[in-house]
């Protein structure tokens, strides 16, 4: 059973996703880290904006992929990692999946590992959703990041 | 989201397996801002302006929000406390990678050929070979970047001072913890005696008796 941070604040939608993940998700060990993988998700079942809510609810990092599944249909894959990292099985890279987004426990700044993973996907950009920062319209803050680092604000103070 | 990668220097496509350098986006006033993108490693190294490019990248890195631990030539090491890793910007070989704090000792103390994952996925690997050289392998694009300017010995020297300082700080923390423990234990044992009533002293009598002739007492007696 999932342990939630604050059950009263979890929306019905988030609860449904978490229930499905615990019922149908497959546990996999990637380099010593256990991840839970939920495949065969249809478009709209899990959205990028859900990732912040999911991490806020369970304190795990989440990743969302999309691509063509084994049945030849377009699918979404949700992966739950540990608190500050989430592993992505390499077969999804070989099958040309797209790394739609992943969540961060705090801010939306990408790490070098995020950029390396993006490079492995041979992808230009992806999205980070914060689990704690909210934008003006109270939605979880998102940020698009690229393979290249943005140092344009690094000026002498 | 997937687009062809065009090298900003030669304007040719970056083929799979060709080593590329993710040239960062620099501030507006910088001369090589136009190179932002994935650049062929060979284009960079063979460029007549390679030294000026290295200088500019090194200059920008000095204004990083993360603390700069050390710099040796055009190689800089920053400490990223939140992600618990060292960010290594090697502008001599044109490679950027991060090394988690928990494996740094394993890297520095190894004596045999070893391949270490720098991330959970194994997207970036560090190969420490017999010549004490580091290599980054990106298995999915078969990209291999030999870090010929950064032999292990150089990395050891660069990180040596910082690691020694960290070790000293760690020792001090342990000592402080121990002192705090001893202090708390002594407080606890002292509190056992707090409930025992002390003998009553008649203040007035006590003071009067203790005042010698000629002495003046202060306060209300």
Question: Which residue from B minimizes the CA distance to A157?
Answer: B63
Q: Which of A106, A113, A148 sits opposite B25 (nearest CB)?
A: A148
Q: What is the mean pLDDT of residues A7-21?
A: 86
With CA atoms as reference, the chain A residue closest to B86 would be A112
B121 and chain A in contact, CB less than 8 A: yes
**Residues B31-71: pLDDT tens digits?**
999 999 999 999 999 999 999 999 999 999 988 889 999 99
Window from A53-62, A75-84, B139-148, B178-187 with minimum mean pLDDT: B139-148
pTM: 0.78
Q: CA A141, A86, A83, A6 torsion: positive or negative? A: positive
Interacting residues of B56 by C-beta distance below 8 A, sequence separation 6+: B26, B30, B31, B32
Helix, strand, coil % over all residues of chain B, rounded to 5: 35, 25, 40
Phi, psi of A87 (to 5 degrees): -90, 150
Question: What average pLDDT does chain B have?
Answer: 82
Which one has a higher pLDDT value, A120 or B204? Answer: A120
Is residue B208 over pLDDT 70? no
Q: What's the rounded mean pLDDT across residues A131-154?
A: 84
What is the band of A4 on the pLDDT scale with cuts at 50, 70, 90?
Answer: low
Per CB-CB distance under 8 Å, the chain B contacts of A156 are: 63
Among chain B residues, the shortest Cα distance to A155 is held by B63
What residue in A sits closest to B28 (Cα-Cα)? Answer: A152
**Most confident segment among B44-53, B163-172, B206-215:** B44-53
Contacts with B33 from chain A: Cβ below 8 Å? 152
Give the gap in angstroms from C-alpha B167 to the nearest C-alpha of chain A: 25
Q: Please say if the pLDDT value at position B135 is more than 50.
A: yes
The pLDDT of residue B118:
86
ipTM of the complex: 0.82
B-interface mutation test, from A61, A82, A151, A155, most B Cβ less than 10 A away:
A151
Cα separation, B114 vs A66, whole angstroms = 35
**Chain B residues lying within 8 Å of A29, measured CB to CB:** none
% of chain A beyond a pLDDT of 90: 54
Mean pLDDT lowest among A33-42, A60-69, B24-33, B104-113: B104-113
Beta-sheet pairing, A125-134 with A98-104 = parallel
Q: Does residue B142 have a pLDDT over 80? A: no
Confidence band of A5 (pLDDT split at 50, 70, 90): low
Predicted confidence at residue B171, as pLDDT, reads 86
Q: Where do the DSSP E strands lie in chain A?
A: 26-30, 33-41, 62-68, 74-80, 98-104, 125-134, 140-146
Q: Which of A116, A123, A152 sits opposite B119 (nearest CB)?
A: A116
pLDDT at A141 exceeding the cut of 80: yes
CA nearest to A118 within chain B? B123
SS3 of residue B116 by DSSP: strand
How far does the CA of residue A20 sit from the closest CA of chain B (Å)? 25
pLDDT range class, residue A139, cuts 50, 70, 90? confident
**What is the average pLDDT across B87-114?**
88
Task: Note which residues in 91-150 of chain A have CB less than 8 A from chain B.
Answer: 93-94, 98, 106, 111-113, 115-117, 119-120, 122-126, 147-150
Q: Determine the distance in angstroms separating the CA of A149 from the nearest CA of chain B, rounded to an integer.
A: 5
Lowest mean pLDDT among A58-72, A135-149, B38-52, B120-134: B120-134
């Amino acid at each position: 059973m999932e342990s939630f941070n604050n059950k009263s604040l979890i929306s019905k939608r988030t609860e449904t996703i978490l229930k499905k993940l615990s019922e149908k998700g497959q546990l996999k060990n990637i380099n010593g880290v256990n991840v839970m993988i939920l495949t065969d998700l249809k478009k709209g079942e899990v959205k990028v904006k859900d990732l912040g809510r999911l991490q806020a609810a369970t304190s795990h990092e989440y990743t969302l992929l999309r691509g063509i599944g084994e049945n030849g249909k377009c699918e979404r894959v949700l992966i739950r990692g540990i608190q500050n990292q989430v592993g992505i099985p390499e077969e999804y890279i070989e099958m040309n999946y797209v790394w739609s987004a992943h969540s961060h426990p705090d801010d939306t700044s990408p790490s070098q590992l995020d950029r390396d993973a993006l490079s492995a996907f041979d992808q230009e950009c992806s999205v980070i959703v914060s689990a704690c920062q909210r934008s003006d319209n109270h939605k979880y803050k998102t940020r698009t990041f690229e393979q290249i680092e943005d140092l344009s604000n690094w000026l002498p103070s | 989201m997937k687009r062809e990668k065009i090298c900003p220097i030669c304007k040719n496509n970056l083929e799979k397996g060709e080593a590329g350098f993710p040239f960062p986006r620099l501030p507006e006033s910088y001369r090589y801002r136009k190179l932002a993108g994935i650049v062929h490693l060979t284009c960079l190294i063979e460029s007549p302006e390679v030294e000026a490019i290295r200088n500019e990248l090194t200059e920008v890195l000095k204004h990083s929000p993360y603390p700069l631990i050390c710099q040796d030539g055009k190689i800089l090491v920053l400490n990223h406390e939140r992600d618990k890793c060292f960010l290594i910007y090697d502008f001599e070989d044109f490679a950027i990678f991060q090394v988690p704090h928990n494996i740094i000792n394993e890297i520095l103390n190894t004596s045999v050929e070893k391949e270490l994952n720098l991330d959970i996925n194994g997207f970036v690997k560090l190969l420490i070979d017999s010549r004490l050289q580091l290599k980054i392998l990106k298995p999915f694009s078969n990209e291999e970047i030999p870090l010929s300017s950064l032999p292990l010995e150089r990395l050891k020297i660069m990180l040596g001072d910082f690691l020694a300082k960290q070790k000293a700080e760690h020792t001090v923390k342990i000592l402080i913890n121990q002192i705090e423990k001893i202090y708390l234990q002594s407080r606890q044992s002292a509190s056992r005696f707090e409930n025992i009533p002390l003998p009553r002293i008649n203040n007035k009598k006590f003071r009067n008796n203790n005042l010698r002739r000629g002495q003046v007492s202060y306060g209300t007696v």
